A = this chain, B = another copy of it.
Amino acid sequence: MSCEKNSESEFTGPQDIGIALQLWSELLGREHVRSDVQSLTAYTRSTASFSTQPLAVLSPKSTEEIVEIVRVAGKFRIPVYPISRGKNWGYGDACAVTEGQVIVDLSRMDRIIEVNEELAYAVIEPGVTQRQLSEYLRENNIPLWMDCTGAGPDTSLVGNILERGFGHSPYGNRFQTVAGLQIVLADGQVLKTGFGHYPQAKTTYLFPYGIGPYLDGIFTQSNLGIVTRLGLWLMPAAECINHFLCFIEKHEDIEPVVERLRPLRMNGTLRSIVHIGNDLRLISGGQTYPLEMSGGKVPLPQEVREKLRKQAGVGAWNVSGALYGTKQQVAIARRALAKALKGKGRELVFITDRKLAVGGFLLGLLGDSQWGRNLRGKLLAAKALFDMNRGIPSSRFLAGAYWRRRGGLPPNFPNQADPAADNCGMLWLSPVIPMLGNEVLRLYELIEPIFKQYGFDLFITVHMVTERALGSVITVAYNKEEMAETERALACYYTLFNAVMDAGYIPYRIGIQSMADLAHDSEVFWDVVSNIKSALDPYTIIAPGRYNPKSTTMPRPSLSSEAHPGFEEKSSSLNTIIKL
């Protein structure tokens, strides 16, 4: 390659930061350029045990301001790190991959620029939250639904989509519902993808690919530009939804269940993303760690786990999904599903509009009795699930992050949930496996001994994110106020990471602590990514290290050798703040 060497690896740190901050202040207004300790500290909050310290935080309001921000950054060679809402919980939250980057917080860019009812799409900025778009659609009586994730109402749609997150509806493979990006490049040029670069184009938000190379993909999970606008397809409100839950008693029975569901996912009977969670994942959605019941023991003793499983009425595995369509279509899909899942120990339950109404009526009758309280809990959970299918977000599904939190769920939960601010300890790892029943068991057998070794409760979900692959999410939940536990959690994470990588179950998304490890065992790919980076951002202004392991030397959070002997050789973390 004739391009000059990727200067990312020669990054020597910011110069003239004072002048840059001054220029930015003139540009954005003083209140939108923050470098005081208190402000910076807020951006280091993380559900991980480590975080990185930003140099400053900028809060632009427009694409034009971002253009000016990168121009100044380029002039002074100061790296800028865009975040949408900074709620990338479990994967690094609002933190840059390395120390000393300037956070560009896009939360003030929260305009819903257009909603086209006829052709069913919205054009939004990165600051638009799930709640905001959802409410906009309902308040304006627009019969369109957005896809929704369980990450809560205050998360950014664009941020999640650019991380290739997935939701729960037929539009759950969110990247496939994007058409037309607007991106600020490192040199300050504004790129419009699809047909958007032709100002007269009539189908920018209707046809993602445009003509010529289809570029959108390179701006997802990348540091090649700052996306400032995105066309998002919305689904027409369905005539009918049925949410289904299937509780599987025996661990091994997940194998035939996946085998029976795969054909339904492939033939279009199950058009939405089906989620399968183990017992602890569901139990942790309803309560925090039962210290009293377990006699202070951690992790959960088997007999307590079984008791909780019974109490919560959940199985070893639990399938959750929704059927969409006309009443007739849903009725047919229900029958196909019931037929596929028929067998011992598999209870299939449908949540419908009617059942929720009847439940609400019963609740009125039962009042504050024990039965009433039990019903209320289940009904609220069912309602939240059902709503999510229609694009109404809830914080309720964040409860798992609080599992080991000292003090349990905060009083304002779930109305105000922020696992990072609430000092929850949680690390996520999300390997992709083939959609085969035995692969679910294999993954489980791979990770179970590691959870045992480090003494954590194993939460896992697998998601039918494509018709052929399961995206899994493995949670390491820990008490962040216990130093030893915190270190063990990180060690557990790294052991899990290495295990899934070695097994060929590569994650679909990764936390900032593992960006540098992505190059491991890989051939050519990351060099190509670095080459493209050099072409578009020769001074590595935008988000050094993010999904770009071949460039800068990235620090690793430290681990004491006690927590995981032999691990320290991989870590180098003088620059990293350990937050306990």
Contacts and interface: CB of A to CB of B under 8 A. Distances in A.
Interface string A525-540: 1111101101110110
A150 interface: no
A175 B201 CA distance: 22
A523 interface: yes
Given A170-B268, A203-B469, A214-B218, A189 B524 contact: yes
A436 B211 contact: no
A377 interface: no
A222 B214 CA distance: 9
Contact of A236 (B189, B208, B217, B263): B263
Contacts of A332: 326, 328-329, 332
Given A193-B525, A212-B525, A504 B432 contact: no
A233 interface: yes
Nearest to A549: B212
Contacts of A535: 1, 3, 531-532, 534-535
A470 to B, nearest CB: 9
Interface in A227-281: 233, 235-236, 238, 263, 266-269, 271
A322 to B, nearest CB: 13
A210 B220 CA distance: 11
Nearest to A534: B535
Given A192-B523, A525-B192, A536-B531, A508 B1 contact: no
Given A187-B1, A236-B267, A547 B211 contact: yes
A119 B468 contact: yes
Chain A interface residue number, banded: 35 or more
Counting from the closest, the 5 A-B pairs by CB-CB distance are: A214-B217, A535-B535, A197-B525, A2-B538, A202-B504
Interface in A312-333: 324-326, 328-329, 332
- Copies of this polypeptide in the complex: 2
A233 B468 contact: yes
A304 interface: no
23 contacts: A119-B434, A119-B436, A121-B468, A164-B209, A185-B524, A189-B527, A192-B525, A195-B432, A198-B504, A200-B521, A202-B433, A202-B503, A203-B434, A206-B432, A209-B220, A211-B507, A211-B508, A212-B222, A217-B217, A233-B468, A236-B263, A531-B535, A532-B532
Contacts of A435: 119, 206
A118 interface: yes
Contacts of A263: 236
A434 to B, nearest CB: 6
A215 interface: yes
A524 B221 contact: no
A552 interface: no
Interface of A: 1-4, 7, 118-121, 164, 170, 175-176, 179, 185, 187, 189-193, 195, 197-203, 205-222, 224, 233, 235-236, 238, 263, 266-269, 271, 324-326, 328-329, 332, 336, 432-436, 439, 465-469, 471, 501-510, 518, 521-529, 531-532, 534-536, 538-539, 547-548
A548 B518 CA distance: 31
> Which of A3, A190, A505, A508 is most buried by chain B, counting CB atoms within 10 A of its CB?
A3
A203 B433 contact: yes
Chain A interface, >50% SS class:
loop
Contacts of A170: 268
B528 A215 contact: yes
Nearest to A120: B266
Contact of A185 (B222, B471, B528): B528
Contact of A213 (B189, B218, B504, B527): B218
Given A121-B468, A203-B434, A263-B236, A217 B212 contact: no
Contacts of A207: 432, 465-466, 468-469, 471, 508
Given A187-B1, A206-B434, A212-B547, A536 B525 contact: no
Nearest to A520: B198
Contacts of A336: 326
Contacts of A216: 217
Nearest to A209: B164
Nearest to A546: B212
Given A189-B524, A535-B532, A518 B218 contact: no
Contact of A211 (B212, B506, B539): B506
